[in-house]
Amino acid sequence: MHEDFARNLRLLCSYYRSIAEVCRRLEVNRPQFNRYLSGRYRPSANTLRRFCDFFGVEEHEILLPSAQFERLVQVRPRRDEPNDAGAPELAHFSRLREIGTAGLDKYLGYYFETYMSMACPGKILRTLVCLLRDGERVCYRRTERLIEHPHEKPCHGVYLGMAHMLGDRIFLNDYESLTGLEMTQTILFPSFKNRVSRLTGLKLGASGSGERMPCCARVVYEYLGQTISVRSALRLCGLYASDDPRIDEATRSAVVNDIAPGEWHLRARF
């Protein structure tokens, strides 16, 4: 009998949701694994090494007296935390995914995002945003296209993020994936029509200029469709003068960051 080994193996399995999950992840036959748990059999040297690599223990440790092994496991951080005890934020993200993706399929597709540039005051910035479903999540990619000098190739900034719909607002959170120096949050009003055309809201971020000033700006999302010519759309992205006729009057008016009498904050507008 291999009673200490069996007790130690049962202890390691107790940190997982079920024996079935352990067998699945180890790719081991359940009846054979039950024999190890019963103490009637001990795995081969090769199988024992696989078990120890999976649970994050040494081969000599898993053969220790069970009381000694239990003390060792209790004080040692595990390399594979099935309950994510070492990363509590993951539980919150999982909860957000459960409650925040319903109703977003209506908004999947491409958008022009337009707002007053945070890095170039007085200029209007247009970017391309794509919302797509990835399994249970709704992710998005936001691409900036900027031309710093007329005869140089455009440079691109790529922001990757996730979308959630909580209550009656759409929340977009992303980070700049090339340098990792910036995060933004956008909150949009949803569309109460069957067909999505324009979404408005507020955008919070830090300017890309040297001062890195935190800024908030009104923003407009103009729906383009689920299938577009991305290259053609990107050619229309970039910086525009505030009176440029290529930005329609409704959009120019919607992104002005004025505060009306009686308003104490920069508020989104429909």
Confidence at residue 178, expressed as pLDDT on a 0 to 100 scale = 80
269 located within any domain: no
Q: Which of 58, 86, 114 is the last residue of a domain?
A: 86
Any domain includes 268: no
Q: Are residues 168 and 78 in the same domain?
A: no
Whether 194 is in a domain gets the answer yes
Domain containing residue 145: 100-254
Are residues 107 and 48 part of one domain? no
Query: Distance from CA of residue 106 to its chain's centroid?
Result: 19
pLDDT value at residue 117: 94
Partners of 221 in beta bridges: 113, 199
125-155 pLDDT per residue, tens? 999 999 999 888 899 999 998 876 666 777 8
Distance from C-alpha of 230 to C-alpha of 165, rounded to nearest angstrom: 26
Is 60 exceeded by the pLDDT of residue 81? Answer: no
- Are residues 141 and 16 located together in one domain of the fold? no
Domain count, the chain: 2
Residues 123, 169 share a domain: yes
My answer on whether 128 and 76 are in the same domain is: no
Residues 133 and 77 in one domain: no
Residue 215 lies in a domain: yes
Tell me, what amino acid is at 145?
R
Average pLDDT, the chain: 88
Chain segment 226-266, per-residue pLDDT in tens: 999 999 999 999 999 999 999 999 999 999 999 989 999 99
Q: What are phi and psi of 115, to 5 degrees?
A: -160, 165
Instruction: For residue 95, tell me if it sits in a domain.
Output: no
Q: Which residue has the higher pLDDT, 17 or 184?
A: 184
Domain end point (choices 54, 86, 118): 86
pLDDT at position 106 over 80 = yes
User: Are 104 and 160 in a shared domain?
Assistant: yes
Residues in Cβ contact with 122 at an 8 Å cutoff, skipping those fewer than 6 apart: 116, 241, 242
pLDDT at 82: 47
Report if residue 106 sits inside a domain.
Answer: yes
Strand partners, 146: 155
**Are residues 56 and 182 part of one domain?**
no
Rounded to the nearest angstrom, the gap between the alpha carbon of residue 138 and the centroid of all alpha carbons in its chain is 9
- On whether both 64 and 136 belong to a single domain, the answer is no
Among 20, 53, 86, give the residue marking a domain's end.
86
| b/e burial code for range 176-190 (CB count within 10 A of at least 16 → b) | beeeeebebebbbbb
Computed on alpha carbons and rounded to an integer, the radius of gyration of the chain in Å comes to 27
* Domain co-membership, 112 together with 201: yes
Q: Specify the CATH number for the domain of residue 112.
A: 2.40.128
Over the stretch 156-213, which tens digit does the pLDDT of each residue have? 889 999 999 998 999 999 999 887 788 999 999 999 888 899 999 999 998 877 788 8
The reported pLDDT for the residue numbered 84 is 46
Q: Supply the pLDDT for residue 88.
A: 66
93 found inside a domain: no
Q: Is 82 part of any domain?
A: yes
CATH of the domain at 44: 1.10.260.40
Q: Which of 114, 63, 82, 94 is nearest to 219 (CA)?
A: 114
What mean pLDDT is predicted for residues 59-74?
Answer: 88
Is there a single domain that holds both residue 104 and residue 202?
yes
Is residue 21 domain-shared with residue 150, that is, in the same domain?
no
Q: How far is CA 6 from CA 34, 39, 140, in A?
A: 10, 5, 48
For 32, half-sphere exposure in the C-beta direction (CA atoms, 13 angstrom radius) is: 10
pLDDT for 83 equals: 46
- Say if strands 198-206 and 214-225 run parallel, antiparallel, or are unpaired: antiparallel
